Amino acid sequence: MKRTIKDTMDESNNISDLVIYKNNQLLAINKKPGMSAQPDKTESVSVLQLAEIYCKHPVHLVHRLDRPASGVILFAKNKKALANLNLQFKNKTVSKVYWALVKNKPEKPEGTLTHFLKKNGKTNKAEIVAEGTKDAKEAILHYKTLSESDNYTLLEVELVTGRFHQIRAQLAAIGCPIKGDVKYGFRRSNPDRSIHLHARSISFDHPVTGERVTIEANPPEGDPVWGATT
């Protein structure tokens, strides 16, 4: 049996307004752009810290999401659930779908992109390199066009691999940088330094029941560009 949980996130800063799924094993939050998934060098409160405040006990981050992006992020409430989900990621049974608002249109409305990526520690970027390059990792994603406007194209992206900055680097490589992503070639940053990359959904087997669960997160409300394209 499959079920889908849709969120009704509003613009409140209350952590409870960001929670879109919860039970004894798991917690899912619709991360706002600009929020760090876990504590970093800045003094801002991370989503992990907010999740622990909400749950009133330590939780475990299951996967990451770039700070300037938005969307669903999953936490395990205990080590057994974390181990189960880590195994699902290893076995590639977890499905993660993203929405990306990009400049230009891909040559084909849908397709598969395969590149080799290498992280540049000095620039904190993923670079497209030749196959066989030392420390390079294969990156694969599927995409399809959902809608088009005069200025932007909305793509749905499903990851096959989960590499550092993968979507951002691969879409830029085909001439379709994500809106606001100056690191990967978009001309202007967004006023809030966000990028229009949104983790739309995550699907996995519940660690206890085995039921297939899909959790969906809506794009940030109040953003006129998202509102005009979704």
Tell me if residue 150 is catalytic.
no
The active-site residue, picked from 7, 10, 17, 66, is: 66
Distance, first Cα to last Cα, the chain: 28
User: Which residue shows structure tokens 């606001």?
Assistant: 180
| Tokens coding 126 | 């993923």
Q: Where is 117: in which H helix or E strand?
A: strand 110-120
Cα 103 from Cα 181, distance rounded (Å): 10
149-169: b (≥16 Cβ within 10 Å) or e: eeebbbbbbbbbebbbbbbbb
Is residue 58 helix, strand or coil? Answer: coil
Query: In the beta sheet, which residues pair with residue 102?
Result: 153, 178
Cα 168 from Cα 176, distance rounded (Å): 9
Residues with catalytic roles = 66
